[in-house]
């Protein structure tokens, strides 16, 4: 280890940007026993030897980076295994050292953390984005086993951001964007407030350097003004607390550039309106003192109505607790005050890391934080959502702080993102509740499932046996859990529908040769599956049902060798019956709204299955260029099935005409799904109604009723123009 000792002895150190081994050991010695400090030194020497000859973009020896990442964690006073893992976090990825060797030298716990952080560079991906997403998926799932994985990753990213100037500009911007989109919110979600603030400011500086410089100059000027006012305000609050017999520490709260920038962009507010708000923090001994301190503070300066938040009674999802209030200060200057205990303050600064603080004499210092564990275990369900990129987007949605707190009928509090709906609530209770929900009561009143929830509401979900998720829910749910569960259910349902539809299409194509699937021998089927590279019949039928394989072509491959000329003269494939049995894989075009009784044609669309159009639809002409994708269809007699249709009604432009026409339609026992008013000129208007009808005969009866109305000038069905697509 002579090389390693020499290298570590000359590491750059003494700066916050890249602390050296001396700073790391000093930080570790402040709370760890000597034997653990020596273990950290041994890990640094092992890492230096493993990374021998490797340099960073900045020109430093590579070992400087993991040592600096470890020093960040030592500042959080985490357990020694986490610090050792931080020193070795790139060894498996960048050197020939195997996981087994790390386990043998430093223990299984360290090896598992290092493996969780390691990227998937050895696997070939289609794109850099896919590789990043898959690496992120692996890291987050490793968190399910050990949350210390993310502590190491966040320390790694923090030091990379401190030294990012060594990267080329395009790469620098990409890393900064990823930091702001994923890692800073992730640090906040886990309560690592100090790391979150540093990652945000570093990411902001790298992504928008000019905006950063402008804000930095403005903040320096503002700090000069605050030096005059803050001591006076803090002094008044101290006196108020002392008069109430409350011992407290009052300190100024630093405003950070990225939070100011986000407020400016979100609220479209001038810079002066944001930086002229003073921030103070009051720290007391216990929770009930916080409420007494709140009263004392309000007696010094009047509170602003509607600006108080109690995060002690209802903590944030990352465990953060404080009382927040906004006061009218001297000359009306706004003052933001946070009131918390010492324990709350520690958790707010180091979050989940507080649960890995090393305590001498304890054999197992690792204690999971309940809320973080609950969120992380949900990642197991989320990762089934499909591709790595989709998983990453789902996690992004869940990373941002919760803003809405709602109650179950039994009084349990559920935390949901702002904009969450009743369906999001149902899935938050349990996936089965979400899948089977049919209605809901919000504050004891029946409400639509897409109702957006507000703070303090009580929600009761009504379920029904046999109910299934509605595909349209995906368009309005906001939580990753709800979106993932709906897609997973529909994916399974869609596959079974695709297999059934593919089976019918192949039978239809074989009928042209006076054959059906039972007539096809196993050898012909096996040869066809091998030719297409498919595992079994279900996969073949699924691809056909989804429009990814053409049934006539597959049918020809399935024919026995002697049957390829058996086609009867003038034989045409029997039309496919549609309506009532197609599930998700047959859709009716919204450009022409076909209903039973209309002459129709169907087009096989890749990934969508069959799309049915009226023969007179203008869009049919576009599809005639691909005759191999057309399918002959016929309406199936399915009583009770309802279809969408659209009527355009030209009326005299007078008061009450819309209500009169709608009443006439309702008199035919027809539901109106949607209505739109299109003004044509001062004398006439066009009303567009989307209706639910059984068939063409039902629709004709509605048209006759409307035509008899004196104020109606013309009634006609919607028919697509060349510009209107389905």
Residues 6+ apart with CB under 8 A from 268: none
Strands (DSSP E) along 510-585, which ranges? Answer: 576-578
Residue with tokens 């001062």: 682
- The H or E element spanning position 39 is helix 34-50
Catalytic residue flag (residue 93): yes
The active-site residue out of 38, 81, 94, 242 is 94
The active-site residue out of 60, 93, 500, 726 is 93
Q: Which long-range contacts (CB under 8 A, 24 or more apart) does 6-11 make?
A: 7/48, 7/52, 7/61, 7/63, 8/44, 8/45, 8/48, 8/63, 8/67, 11/60, 11/61, 11/63, 11/64, 11/67
Q: Assess contact for 659 and 597: CB atoms under 8 A.
A: no
Residues 88 and 111: their CA atoms lie apart, in Å, by 9
Return the closest-CA partner of residue 467 out of 425, 424, 423. Answer: 423
- Spatial strand order of the sheet with 437-442 comes to 445-447, 437-442, 459-463
SS3 267: helix
Sign of the Cα pseudo-torsion (240, 243, 244, 247, in order): positive
**Encoding tokens for residue 513?**
């040769």
Strands (DSSP E) along 418-493, which ranges? Answer: 437-442, 445-447, 459-463
Let me know how many helices (H) and strands (E) the chain has, helices first: 29, 20
Angle at 144 between CA 141 and CA 145, to 5 degrees: 110
**Encoding tokens for residue 663?**
């009443």
Q: Assess contact for 86 and 69: CB atoms under 8 A.
A: yes
DSSP per-residue codes, 65-116: HHHHHHHHHHHTTB-HHHHHHHHTTTHHHHSS--HHHHHHHH-HHHHHHHHH
Strands (DSSP E) along 516-614, which ranges? Answer: 576-578, 586-588, 600-605, 609-614
Strands 586-588 and 278-284: unpaired
The residues that are catalytic are 93-94
């Amino acid at each position: 280890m002579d090389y390693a000792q020499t290298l570590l002895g000359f590491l750059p150190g003494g700066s916050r940007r890249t602390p050296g081994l001396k700073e790391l050991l000093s930080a570790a010695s402040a709370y760890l026993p000597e034997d653990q400090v020596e273990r950290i030194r041994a890990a640094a020497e092992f890492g230096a030897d493993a990374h021998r000859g490797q340099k960073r973009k900045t020109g430093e020896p590579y070992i400087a980076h993991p040592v600096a990442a470890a020093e960040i964690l030592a500042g959080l006073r985490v357990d020694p295994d986490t610090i050792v893992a931080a020193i070795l976090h790139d060894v498996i990825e960048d050197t020939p050292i195997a996981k087994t060797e790390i386990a043998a030298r430093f223990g299984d716990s360290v090896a598992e953390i290092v493996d969780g952080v390691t990227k998937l560079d050895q696997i070939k991906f289609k794109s850099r984005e896919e590789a990043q997403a898959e690496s992120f998926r692996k890291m987050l799932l490793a968190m399910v086993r050990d949350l210390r994985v993310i502590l190491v990753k966040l320390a790694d990213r923090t030091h990379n951001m401190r030294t990012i100037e060594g990267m080329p500009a395009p790469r620098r911007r990409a890393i900064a964007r990823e930091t702001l989109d994923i890692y800073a919110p992730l640090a906040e979600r886990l309560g690592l407030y100090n790391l979150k603030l540093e990652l945000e400011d570093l990411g902001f500086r790298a992504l928008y350097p000019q905006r950063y410089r402008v804000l930095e100059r403005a903040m320096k000027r503002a700090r000069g003004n605050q030096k005059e006012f803050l001591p006076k305000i803090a002094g008044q609050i101290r006196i108020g607390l002392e008069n109430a017999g409350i011992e407290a520490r009052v300190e100024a709260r630093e405003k950070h550039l990225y939070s100011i920038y986000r407020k400016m962009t979100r609220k479209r507010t001038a810079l002066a309106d944001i930086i002229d708000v003073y921030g103070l923090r009051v720290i007391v001994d216990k929770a009930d003192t916080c409420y007494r301190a709140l009263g004392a503070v309000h007696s010094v300066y009047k509170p602003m109505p509607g600006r108080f938040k109690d995060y002690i009674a209802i903590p944030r999802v990352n465990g953060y607790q404080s009382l927040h209030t906004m006061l009218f200060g001297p000359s009306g200057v706004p003052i933001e005050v946070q009131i918390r205990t010492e324990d709350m303050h520690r958790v707010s600064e180091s979050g989940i890391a507080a649960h890995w603080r090393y305590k001498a004499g304890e054999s197992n210092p690792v204690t999971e934080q309940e809320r973080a564990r609950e969120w992380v275990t949900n990642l197991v369900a989320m990762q089934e959502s499909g591709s790595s990129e989709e998983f990453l987007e789902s996690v992004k949605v869940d990373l941002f702080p919760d803003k809405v707190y709602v109650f179950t009928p039994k009084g349990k509090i559920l935390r949901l993102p702002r904009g969450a709906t009743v369906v999001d609530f149902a899935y938050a209770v349990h996936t089965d509740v979400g899948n089977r929900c049919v209605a809901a009561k919000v504050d004891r009143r029946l409400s639509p499932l897409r109702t957006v929830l507000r703070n303090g509401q009580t929600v009761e979900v009504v379920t029904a046996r046999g109910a299934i998720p509605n595909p349209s829910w995906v368009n309005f749910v906001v939580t990753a859990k709800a979106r993932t569960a709906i897609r997973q259910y529909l994916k399974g349902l869609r596959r079974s529908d695709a297999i059934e539809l593919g089976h019918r299409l192949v039978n239809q194509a074989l009928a042209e040769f006076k054959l059906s699937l039972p007539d096809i021998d196993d050898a012909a089927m096996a040869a066809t599956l091998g030719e297409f590279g498919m595992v079994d019949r279900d996969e073949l039928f699924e691809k056909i049902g989804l429009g990814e394989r053409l049934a006539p072509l597959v049918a020809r491959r399935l024919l026995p060798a002697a049957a390829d000329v058996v086609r009867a003269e003038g034989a045409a494939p029997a039309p496919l019956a549609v309506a009532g049995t197609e599930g998700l894989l047959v859709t009716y075009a919204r450009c022409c709204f076909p209903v039973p009784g209309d002459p129709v044609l169907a087009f096989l669309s890749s990934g969508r299955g069959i799309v049915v159009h009226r023969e007179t639809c203008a869009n049919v002409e576009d599809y005639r260029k691909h005759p191999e994708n057309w399918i002959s269809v016929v309406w199936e007699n399915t009583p009770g099935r309802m279809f969408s249709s659209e009527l355009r009604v030209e009326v005299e432009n007078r008061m009450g005409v819309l209500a009169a026409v709608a009443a006439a339609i309702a008199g035919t026992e027809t539901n109106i799904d949607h209505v739109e008013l299109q003004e044509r000129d001062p004398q006439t208007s066009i009303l567009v109604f989307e209706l639910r009808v059984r068939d063409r005969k039902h629709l004709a009866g509605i048209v006759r009723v409307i035509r008899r109305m004196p104020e109606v000038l013309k009634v006609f069905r919607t028919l697509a123009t060349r510009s209107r697509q389905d």
